[in-house]
Chain A
Amino acid sequence: MARYLLVRVGSLLVSVVAATLVVFIIMHAIPGGPFDAEKAPLTADQLAVINRFYGLDQPLPVQYLKFLWGAFHLQFGYSYSDPGETIAQLLARVWPISAFAGGMGVLLGVTAGILLGVAAALNRNTWIDYVATFIGILTITVPPFVVSLGLILVFGVLLRWFPVSGWNGPATWVLPILAYSTIPLGPVLRYTRSSMLEMAGRPYVTVARAKGLSARRVVIRHIFRNALRPIITITLPILPGVMTGSIFVEFFFSVPGLGQYFVTSIFKRDYPMELALIFIITILYSVIFVITDVLYVLLDPRVRLAEGAAGA
């Protein structure tokens, strides 16, 4: 286990470096720098001073290494567009909003998915099953991008039940969280349903019933418990993407979270910001992958850690 972890951490570092390097290269390959479109055109001298201040006059490899070194100390420097606070401060201010919206959304979606999946499994081939399965198909197929728009049109414009933009007060939380909840709902529903159906046919269930346990007890304590473990492992990989703020959900609902910075930092050539974001999200994904693998082993004693488990 220790050896495995070591290998995975090494792999994580390689991924992070690779990802940030690729983004760094592409960003610098895009024509135009961060200070071209300033409101007041800068003279060559002023530009030189700014470049020197931000270290943009240094050779690229040096710039990259300085970034990397700082990143591992969680110091990302200053954003070019909002130099009033360090990037770390900005992230600390803005990320919790995304994490909250995303986290609540996942919670809601997973819960709903489990409930609907169980209902579908227990009432197989009845209308309950068909409706639940259909909901599952819809939420898997329709991307959050479209779901957000649908929510805006139906609940915001047509019914006018909820405000469609801004982030002040619980009323503005409802629609974004609903939009996020559709992300895990589909897979969890489908998986819960098929997993429970599969469990129900197993011998140990027959034994439990034969022993005289009530159907309810069998379902809850045996079938459901065993089906629950893998659900955790499917849900975990969804977390990094959702909790760093879906670009579109935040865009459409004007949520002042992290998602917007992913895009604006590209358009504004805000190198430190973009690199910081990529760094964070890459580490998040890699860490979650490792946790998922380890959890899978812990939860299911039959599974051994495969050596080449990365990227499976």
Chain B
Amino acid sequence: MRVMATGTTGAVTPAGPEDLDALLTSGPPATSWRRMVRRFAANRLALVGLIVLIILALAAIAAPLITPASYDDTRFVADTYAFPSAAHWFGVDAVGRDFFSRNVYAIRVSLAIGFGAAVISTLIGIPLGALAGYFGGAVDWIIGRVLEVFQIIPPFLIAILVSTLTNGGIPVLVLIISGTSWMGMCRLVRADMLAMREEDFVLAARALGVNQFRIIVRHLLPNAMGPILVAFSLTIPAAIVVEAGLSVLGAGVNPPTPSWGGMIAEGLSYVSYYWFLELFPVLLLTITILSLSFVGDGLRDALDPTTK
């Protein structure tokens, strides 16, 4: 590609070495991606959140390497309820499992469920929202009613109901939790579609005879990617909270799979004395949720700094 330089007369002349030099030394183009990354990096909370998240993820991946035992290994039976010490960083739980190990493996469970539920929510929410927003009319009405039903019934109750039906198992749990969080994504995409469908470029595409679905997928959705990404990253902590809540009530993951919610429920009866059985799951859960939320907020502010 030949670089052209336009002078003040409007005449186009081939670029000379000085022009190229100017181009090369002015630094990378300030594309919108770069600006967004810069804004994100300037947000201290978001950065801290991101770092913590990376540490958590690494801990989850390297779990077998950094823990003295597996999450269901009850070999410390002689030391049940042992307080935190050098040998057991988080103490020992009621049946002789190293509590630190359990908590670390719980990171895996929570992150996996949170991420999985967010993915499925998105897969459900985007198509429904796009159809509702773009086509409007009857389609919008039907999807609107479905949305309403899911919102009026406390989603949590439905989650408990269905999970009692199916007794646990992580894949099912992920599906159930997605059922409680797809509505946000759907509403968002619908609103974006409504806003964008009157734009000129859509009109142009239609005039050219482009198929409606192709318009949605190839033209409209990519423009909605920013908010979709933000909604996705904020769905993850919400899903983790739902999972923890379900596990506290006994409708979540089945023991011995470690879950902070389950540990919280178990430790509640002894919290006045064996405080560590309650403290560490709560702490880790809080840190995970906060860091995910800060990153999500950071993404949102980076994408659209006008909303502050």
Contacts and interface: CB of A to CB of B under 8 A. Distances in A.
Contact of A153 (B149, B161, B278, B297): B278
B164 A310 contact: no
Which of B45, B148, B154, B237 lies at the interface centre, i.e. has the most chain A CB atoms within 10 A of its CB? B154
A114 B211 CA distance: 51
A40 interface: no
A266 B164 contact: yes
Interface string A272-312: 00000010011001100000000000000000000000110
Q: Is the interface of B mostly helix, strand, loop or mixed?
A: helix
B154 A26 contact: no
Contact of A142 (B45, B160, B289): B289
Interface stretch (A14-22, A43-51, A68-76, A205-213): A14-22
A30 B160 contact: no
Nearest to A247: B156
Interface residues of A, number: 41
B123 interface: no
A255 interface: no
Contacts of B65: none
Nearest to B154: A281
Interface stretch (A78-86, A88-96, A144-152, A214-222): A144-152
A248 interface: yes
Interface stretch (B19-27, B75-83, B264-272): B264-272
Contacts of A282: 152-153
Contact of A248 (B153, B165, B245): B245
Interface of A: 15, 18-19, 22-23, 26-27, 29-31, 137-138, 141-143, 145-146, 149-150, 152-153, 156-158, 164, 241, 247-248, 251-252, 262-263, 266-267, 278, 281-282, 285-286, 310-311
Given A150-B282, A247-B245, 11 more contacts: A15-B148, A18-B152, A19-B149, A26-B158, A27-B161, A142-B290, A145-B245, A152-B278, A157-B275, A266-B164, A282-B152
